[in-house]
Every structure is written in structure tokens, then in C-alpha cells.
Chains A and B, each alone.
Chain A
Amino acid sequence: MNNTFNLSRFIKLFKRHSIANYKPYLMLLLILIGGLSIALGYTSMNANSFISIEQYTMFQLCLFVSAPIFTAGIFAELGSQSKSISFLMLPASNLEKWLVAWVYSFVIFLVVYIACFYVVDAVVLQIANASLKQPQKLVNIFDPKHRLISDLVIFSLLHALSFFGAVFFRKHQILKIGSLLLVLYFGMIYVNAAVLTAMFNTEVNVGQLFSSVSFIDGNDYYHINESPIISSASSYIFFIVAGLIWSATYYRLKEKEV
């Protein structure tokens, strides 16, 4: 018997997880559609033209908010003692249990999210175009100008952190992970600004993390962009970090005690 991974056992586990969780997942799907409708509807009403960049910004924003919320609950079984025992004692390997949760929260979530976004965006555009002078088209998220790959890397990192938190924290995972992400994000911005100020010996305006920086020196204004090599290297580094956190989640699950 293969004690690490068996495809037939994985499929059985996947089916079992789907049967046991389809109700809360359907509920979350409705919440996602509602959230997207509010976000896209509000943006279309407050914009003079509902252009593709605005649509894409909403795509990014809703993805970065909804993904950690969904992922934080993916190991909901581990939140209660009785559910934990039932989950951990089921005859499947830790890798299979980890993989079912990963596939649901990463792959399936992303596919469902993109599908929901397009459905809601299409409906909102239909309504918005009725009052716009120049009808707008549905955004193509795969257009290179939108840098979808970079956003997917950020999504991977957010997912990995939430995934780890879902196993690490016993209760109130969403709140704890949300707080952790905010502290991490603002902490990094603060440290980044402090380091750059020390480096340039003047007050700097920092854009996104690990990207551009601008500062005034006397009467001169400087804006420095990162080189394309650094830009792509940071994406790889973020993805590697996400991979390490996914692996840490697996080992945390393996060592989980009740």
C-alpha cells in the first residue's frame, strides 16, 4: 500500500469533502457573487466610463480580499475537537488531505472566481452601457497590460499565508489571518520606508513594495523604477516563498494534535 499518495484514495477523499461541504461552499459562492455585484456595480455608477482598468482593479481587489477569507476556512474541521478527530482519523494520507484542501482553495476557487467575475461584470456592463456615451467592453484579464501573472503571484502568497493560518490557528482563523496579513503588510511598508530613507538620507515616497521609489533632493525630483530583472526576480521569490509556506502547512498538518 502506498502510504504517501494514492490516486483512487485521493478521488474518494475529494468526493467526500465535496459531499460534506457543498452547502457552505454554495453559500460562499452566493456571498462572492453578491460582493462582486456590489463592488462592480458601485464602481460603474461612480465612474464616468467603466473602462477595462477600473474593471481589472475591481478584479484584483475582490480576489485579494475573497481568497484569504475562503482559504482561512478550508480546514474548518480542525477548529473543533470532534471534527478534528474525524478528519485526522480518516484513512487517507496527510498529503492527500492537504492536497484536497489546496485544490479546493487554490485551483477551484480561482476558476470559480474568474467565472463569477465575468458573469457579474457582463451583467453590470449591460446595465452601465445603457447610460454611458461610449459603450465599454468586457475586460480581458489575460491582456499583458494588466500583469495578471504578478497578481497571481500575490494571490499565491496570500493563499499560502491563509492556508498556513487555517491549520495553525484553532479558532477565529479569518480574524487572526486578516490581522496577521495587515500587520505583515503595514510592517513591511514601514520597514521598507525606513530602510530606503536611511539609504537615500532624505524622505522618500515609496510606491508598491519592492517596486519604485521617489524622493526630492534640493530642487530635483527623482523617480527610480526597479529594473525588469528585479521585477521578475521578486515575482519568483514571492512564488518560492509561497511554496515554502505551502510545504510548512503540510508539515503542520502532519504534526497536528487533538
Chain B
Amino acid sequence: MIEISNLTFGYSKNQLLFKDLNLRLSKGHIYGLLGKNGAGKSTLLRNIAGLLHPREGHCKVNGLSADSRTPAFLQELFFIPEELYLPDVTVSGFVKSTAHFYPKFDEAAFYKVLSDFDVPEISKIKHLSYGQQKKIMIAFGLATNTSLLIMDEPTNGLDIPSKVQFRKAIAAALNEDRCIIISTHQVRDLDSLIDVVLVLDQQEIVLYKSIDELQEMAISRGEASAKLDMEVLFNSAISGHK
């Protein structure tokens, strides 16, 4: 699904963010990309999406190079950035003008998620709050049914009930043909949602394990609690106590 080989990237030649990074992500999983501010989460996601070009190495999604940003590549990838932009049209106007670029777009699913999020359909997008605009983008991203959905800090701006709704919607949207990557520094927002944890620290992947593996490791160490605390896990990963 996603193949990152020997990725070397830096905004300047002298200050590299990634050096020979290798990573493979497969379909049917929700990956949680965790890391402190400035760890390089957004940069990694933008490399995967083809918004940044590596100095060396390559990123491929479904065998297609991210660099090229061809329509075949783009119609199988939806990227929800932290700071989003939606045009000055109504919700239905946005769907009419944009949905047809995604061949597997499910309009009914879009309005269903939107209704679960309590976002009024008839509103002009610009009149809605940041949180509501984010919900439209999340609903749209889920409805595109692209094989890769990337979300950068998607829970920023969402209230607590919406975060619960967000987790439900994401869990329902996952299938065997889809890979979802969620990047956040608010690790608790991903509790009971992700099935693979990736921790990025000081430009390196310091942890890449499934939740099941982590639970087994915890049990083998004699920690009785069956439920992993994402915040504890994250803190121990970045402090080197894996």
C-alpha cells in the first residue's frame, strides 16, 4: 500500500528531517502517527501525499510515485490537513463541484456522517465554525472511499461529543481495502481507535507496533491492565523506555 524507501528529506540541505527512512504500511489498518510538536509528523505525511519531494529515496502509494501527483494517484488518496480550506459555497455545492473527482464517492455516506456530526446541510460553508468545517472535511474524506485517507491533527477544533462521533465514524469507515493514517499529538483522542502505533521522535520511527503486540508485551511484563494507555505508551516510547 505505502512503501517508503530510503527517504531523505529536509527543508534545507544542512538540516535533514529524515535520513534513509524506510516504512511499509498496508491496507486494512488505522495507523496512529504520534509525536511531539516538531517531530516531523506533518512533513512525513506530506511526503506520502506528494506535497513535498524527497531529496533521496521515494514514497509510493499503490505502486504509484507520490512525486508525480497524477490523477490516478490523487483519486485514491484524500488528505485532511490541520488547517483546512473549503470554498465559499454551500455544503451541497461543494459536493456537486468536488465529489465527481473521486470515482468511489458515496454521497449517502457523506450526508449520513454529516448528520451524525449535526452539521446543517443547507449552510454556506464559510458561515460555519472551524469545528463544523472540519467535520465536513472529515465526512467528505470518509465518503470518497479512497484507499488511503490521511488526517493531520483531525481532532483539533472538535468538541468532546464530536470526538466520540469521530472515533465511531472512522471505525465504521475502515475496511480491507483502506488504510487510514491519523497524526496527532493529542494521543488520548486515538484511544480504542487505532490498531497500529507509529511514534516519531527526533526524526526517527521509535515505535512501530500493533496494539495487539503492545498488549501482549504488557501482559508478558506482568502488567495486568488489558487496556493500553496511549499517553503512557507515547511517553515511554519517546523517553526510550520501550
CA distance A174 to B23 in the complex (A): 42
| B81 CB contact (under 8 Å) in A12, A82, A90, A257 | A82
Q: Is A148 an interface residue (CB 8 A)?
A: no
Q: What are the residues of chain A within 8 A of B50 when measuring CB–CB?
A: 88
CA distance A255 to B53 in the complex (A): 8
Q: What are the residues of chain A within 8 A of B75 when measuring CB–CB?
A: 91
CB pair B52 A81 closer than 8 Å: no
What number of B residues sit within 8 Å (CB to CB) of A? 30
Which residue of B has the minimal Cβ distance to A21?
B87
Q: Is B46 an interface residue (CB 8 A)?
A: yes
Q: What are the residues of chain A within 8 A of B70 when measuring CB–CB?
A: 3, 93
CB pair A19 B97 closer than 8 Å: yes
Q: Is A223 an interface residue (CB 8 A)?
A: no
CB pair A91 B97 closer than 8 Å: no
Q: What are the residues of chain A within 8 A of B202 when measuring CB–CB?
A: none
| A94 CB contact (under 8 Å) in B46, B69, B98 | B69
Q: What are the residues of chain B within 8 A of A257 when measuring CB–CB?
A: 51-53
CB pair A20 B89 closer than 8 Å: yes
CB pair A85 B72 closer than 8 Å: no
CB pair A91 B51 closer than 8 Å: no
CA distance A254 to B69 in the complex (A): 8
CB pair A89 B74 closer than 8 Å: yes
Q: Is A15 an interface residue (CB 8 A)?
A: yes
Q: Is B199 an interface residue (CB 8 A)?
A: no
CA distance A93 to B101 in the complex (A): 11
Which residue of A has the minimal Cβ distance to B85?
A82
- Interface flags for B188-216 (1: CB within 8 Å of A; 0: not) read 00000000000000000000000000000
Q: What are the residues of chain B within 8 A of A88 when measuring CB–CB?
A: 50-51, 69
Q: Is B118 an interface residue (CB 8 A)?
A: no
Q: What are the residues of chain B within 8 A of A252 when measuring CB–CB?
A: none
CB pair B71 A93 closer than 8 Å: yes
Q: How far is the CB of A2 from chain B (nearest CB, A)?
A: 8
CB pair A258 B93 closer than 8 Å: no
Q: Is B100 an interface residue (CB 8 A)?
A: yes
CB pair A90 B98 closer than 8 Å: yes
CA distance A174 to B176 in the complex (A): 49
- Interface flags for A52-74 (1: CB within 8 Å of B; 0: not) read 00000000000000000000000
Which residue of B has the minimal Cβ distance to A257?
B52
Q: Is A133 an interface residue (CB 8 A)?
A: no
CA distance A20 to B85 in the complex (A): 12
Q: What are the residues of chain A within 8 A of B74 when measuring CB–CB?
A: 89-92
Besides A20-B97, A254-B69, 6 new A-B residue pairs in contact (Cβ under 8 A), listed by A number: A3-B68, A85-B84, A91-B75, A92-B101, A257-B53, A258-B52
A-B pairs, top 8 by smallest CB distance, nearest first, are A91-B74, A91-B75, A82-B85, A3-B70, A20-B87, A91-B101, A82-B83, A258-B51
CB-defined A-B contacts under 8 Å, sample of 13: A3-B68, A3-B70, A3-B71, A9-B101, A20-B89, A85-B51, A86-B85, A88-B69, A90-B74, A91-B101, A91-B102, A257-B51, A258-B52
